[in-house]
Amino acid sequence: MTAASFDLQSANSPLGPFAVLFRAEPFCIFRIFLPGESVPKARPVDDRNDPPPALREVVRMIQAYFEGKPIGAPPWKWLHTQDLTGFERAVLEATARIPYGGLRAYRDIALAAGRPKACRAVGNALSKNPFPILIPCHRVILSSGKIGGFGGGTALKKELIALEARFVSSLNSH
């Protein structure tokens, strides 16, 4: 595949712009850049750029997330997972099952991925998660309750956890 077959488009969120690296035909997402990450220059997702309908849908999903709406299952059919090891895929699948507003320890994900002693390996796999927000690696914390690492930085991780807690709390109060 040539570099020309990739495109990078950005969209806004309340925490700043995010970007999606994708291939249009057949549609496939290779990476999501979080707000605050160093992102190469990207064109905005708008009608002038004629983005693929699937890209529009993914952008809507991510923007809705920032408005307090759970994403549900990630759109696996559009995620480029072929370069992941079996273990990395199992870690991302287990992480994707963490409910909106929920938190799990790295140990819990290691158990769910079938390797109960592989807590560090879980952390390494999540540090390479190319699909943050769609696969909510920010919901994985240390067993001690400390926040742990995050590709978008610990401040953003705390902000995402707090965002979900606010919306879950407001849903439970109604």
What is the per-residue pLDDT across 83-133, written as a single tens digit (0 to 9) for each?
Answer: 999 999 999 999 999 999 999 999 999 999 999 999 999 999 999 999 999
In terms of domains, do 155 and 91 share one? yes
Beta strands in the chain (DSSP E): 7-11, 18-23, 28-33, 43-44, 104-105, 140-141
* 119 flagged as catalytic: no
In terms of domains, do 98 and 151 share one? yes
Type and span of the H or E element at 37: none
**Rounded to two decimals, what is the model's pTM?**
0.90
In terms of domains, do 23 and 102 share one? no
**Which listed residue (137, 140, 160, 161) is catalytic?**
137
Total number of domains constituting the chain: 2
Confidence bin at 39 (pLDDT 50/70/90) = confident
In terms of domains, do 88 and 67 share one? no
Range of the domain at 145: 84-172
